[in-house]
Amino acid sequence: MRYKIELSYFGRDFHGWQRQLNAISVQQTIEDAINVVFRDEIMLIGCGRTDTGVHARKYIAHFDSDKEYNNDAAMKLNNYLPFSIAIHSIESVSSDFHARFNAVKRTYQYQICLTKNPFFVDSAWLIYQHLDVNLMNIAAEQLFKYTDFTSFSKLHTDVKTNNCDVQYAKFELNENVLIFTIIADRFLRNMVRAIVGTLIDVGKGKINIDEFSTIIEAKDRSEAGQSAPAHGLFLVDVTYP
């Protein structure tokens, strides 16, 4: 039987989603919990990787098991798991469901605090400088004109293509928190953080709109700005057909 699991996690305590040899990941923590609580050695397949320190408000994974799982199992897992991970639901799905390959779009948000706020210390990038948000949004619209985002990709990854279909990208100000929302069919490793870091350069007046477009066209990571800190980034939605 194949099961779909929906969860959230606060990434501060984890080295990303994917299991690693010498670091604690979200995947390992949940797999180990299922093994302890239900005596079931399963392997979770997630909807994608998240880097160290990145958070997820909505994350989807699947696993196969001969045992029966339901939302009562989710409650038992929540009682065992650390507070930084919350299981929202576990439900049976068809055997051809795949958390990663069936996803048609993903939504990320990046939070930027414009004033000091202790409640955002682990979930937003603090920037004191004035940012031209209107100019940043004009620059963000340039993303719709391109499909190859090599300039915003981590180097030496094992993906076959750096093409992505960016469908939405916009900054919105909510009191003193600037939230960047971006939606695409897929994302490259480090892509959102690299885009945000480069758009911040636009907002600070370090580069203009044409230079932002030139950076994309260069297909060279060294041309783009610094990556925004991981702790401001959230995966907020994953959409399936």
- Cα–Cα distance, 104 to 238 (Å, whole number): 8
The pLDDT confidence band at residue 158, using thresholds 50, 70 and 90, is: low
Residues 6+ apart with CB under 8 A from 137: 170, 171
Q: Has residue 133 been placed in a domain?
A: yes
Check pLDDT > 90 for residue 26: yes
pLDDT at 157 (0 to 100): 63
Query: Is the pLDDT confidence value at 65 over 80?
Result: yes
Q: Are residues 127 and 235 in the same domain?
A: yes
pLDDT at 194 over 70: yes
Cα separation of 213 and 215, whole Å?
Answer: 5
Residues 16-44: what's their mean pLDDT? Answer: 95
pLDDT at residue 156 is higher than 70: no
Query: Which pLDDT tens digit goes with each residue over 173-187?
Result: 998 999 999 999 999
Residues 209 and 235 in one domain: yes
- Active-site residues, by number, are 51
On whether both 114 and 177 belong to a single domain, the answer is: yes
Whether the per-residue pLDDT at 225 is higher than 90: the answer is: yes
Mean of pLDDT values over 120-130:
95
70/112 same-domain check: no
Mean pLDDT of 135-164: 90
Within 8 A by CB and 6+ apart from 198, the residues are 152, 207, 212, 215, 224, 225
Position 201 pLDDT exceeds 80:
yes
Work out how many domains the chain is built from and give that number.
2
Say whether both 89 and 109 belong to one domain: no
Q: Would the pLDDT of 137 be above 70? A: yes
Answer whether residue 162 is part of any domain: yes
pLDDT confidence tier of residue 75, bands split at 50, 70 and 90 = very high
With cut-offs at 50, 70 and 90, classify the pLDDT of residue 20: confident
> Is 64 in the same domain as 122?
no
Is the model's pLDDT at 53 over the cut of 90?
yes
Top-confidence residue, 162 or 27? 27
Mean of the per-residue pLDDT values for the chain? 95
Q: Per-residue confidence at 160, pLDDT binned at 50, 70, 90? A: confident
Question: Quick check: 69 pLDDT over 90?
Answer: yes
Element housing 212 (H / E): helix 209-218
Mean pLDDT, residues 84-95: 97
Q: What is the domain range of residue 115?
A: 105-239
187 and 122 in a common domain: yes
Q: 69: domain CATH number?
A: 3.30.70.580
Measured CA to CA, the distance from residue 8 to residue 58 in angstroms comes to 5
Question: What mean pLDDT comes out for the span 141-168?
Answer: 89
**Based on C-alpha coordinates, what's the Rg of the chain?**
19
Rounded alpha-carbon distances, angstroms, from residue 19 to 4, 27, 85, 144, 190: 18, 6, 15, 33, 18
In a domain, residue 100? The reply is no
